[in-house]
Amino acid sequence: MNKYKLLACALLVSFIQALAEDARAQRPTPAPPEIGATSYVLVDFHSSQVLAATDPELQVEPASITKLMTSYVVFRELEAGNLTLSDQVLISEKAWRTPGSRMFVEVDTQVSVEDLLQGVIVQSGNDASVALAEHVAGSEAVFAQMMNAEAERLGMVGTNYQNATGLPGEQHYTTARDVARLSAALIRDFPDYYNWYSQAEFTYNDITQPNRNLLLRRDPSVDGLKTGHTESAGYCLATSASRDGMRLISVVMGTASENARASASQALLNYGFRFFETFSLYEAGEELTRTRVWKGKEETMALGLQSPLLITLPRGRQDALNAELIVPQRPMAPFSTGQVFGELQISLDDELMLSRDLIVLEGVQRAGWWGRTTDSIGLWFGGLFGGDD
């Protein structure tokens, strides 16, 4: 074969590869798997984007998924220095008599906060939940008020708690989306405590109980979070998994069995990891543009974002992204650091995906009399002759 034929073959191979890559890039993302659940949601932890959902704002019974907030409140108290892991908690008769899943603490005994937390997280002990609630707040009812205050702070607008256990109550409800928000907050705010959610078992009072999250034993990428079950709520599961730097959170509510909630969660996680990827677009404080400033001590000011911007896309679609900076014309000093000025819009295939406020990265003070005067003249001439700036 001469060199021309070799060249032609190489070009043909390159052309076929380019066509294949283009076809993969244009291939539509499949629909999410069908899930036998009352409601569910799949969320990327880093970008907070919802990748799949059915009725995610539907208010449902949370069952023992409630204990995610029970532990979150206790973690906050630990962080604030209001208690320590070694503090001893006196077990009341009320805690001892609480029905449902149990850690098997005994009335009038002392149990450490650390052991009770593991009893809540790993063993889903209702007795441990009530004991912690009474120790932190004096009563379970007051502790429920603390839970609702945290829910409001986290933006869990579809949630209300009546107790620390998840036992049924007329005004005890949440949504799949709110559970995902709370799960993300636990992972983000308390990484040192989060490892308890991946603990396979816990032994207390010579009784060893396994973690009820079956995915911890089926999928090595899964490292939490919490199961829940009552007759009225069905079988529920909040799960998080991390693969190749991408973390997903799935929440399924109201499935038919323990195995069904695990299989549904696994299907959602596999779907998200297979068909989506998350990118870091911009860092917090990164200069995205500079704009001319009038009547200021500086002629320009830098604009950027308050927090990092990550985005989750169907695989192979990164090149279809478009970023547009919208900045008002003729900004007049002064400007303070952190002041909102303008907007960043991110589109995929000309469809707006998200927008973020642009902020002033470094403030600009007002100029003196001479600087303001010369800029006023410049603005007048610019307006007279059609200048934009």
Catalytic residues: 64, 67, 124
DSSP string, 294-340: BSBSSSEEEEE-SS-EEEEEETT-GGGEEEEEE--SS-BS-B-TT-E
Q: Identify the three-state secondary structure at position 33.
A: coil
The alpha-carbon radius of gyration of the chain (Å, integer) is 27
* Cβ count within 10 A of residue 373: 12
SS percent in the chain: helix, strand, coil, step 5: 35, 30, 35
Distance CA 151, CA 144 (A): 10
Distance CA 152, CA 86 (A): 29
Contact 314, 275 (CB under 8 A): yes
Tell how far CA 196 is from the center of its chain: 19
Beta bridge partners of 352: 347
- Give the sheet arrangement for strand 300-304, strand by strand: 289-292, 300-304, 351-360, 340-348, 321-326
Distance CA 242, CA 380 (A): 58
Tell how far CA 150 is from the center of its chain: 15
Query: For 194-198, which contacts have Cβ atoms below 8 Å and span 24 or more sequence positions?
Result: 194/223, 194/224, 195/223, 196/117, 196/118, 196/121, 196/122, 197/121, 197/223, 197/224, 197/225, 197/226, 197/240, 198/222, 198/223, 198/224
Distance CA 245, CA 314 (A): 16
Residue with tokens 């120790």: 135
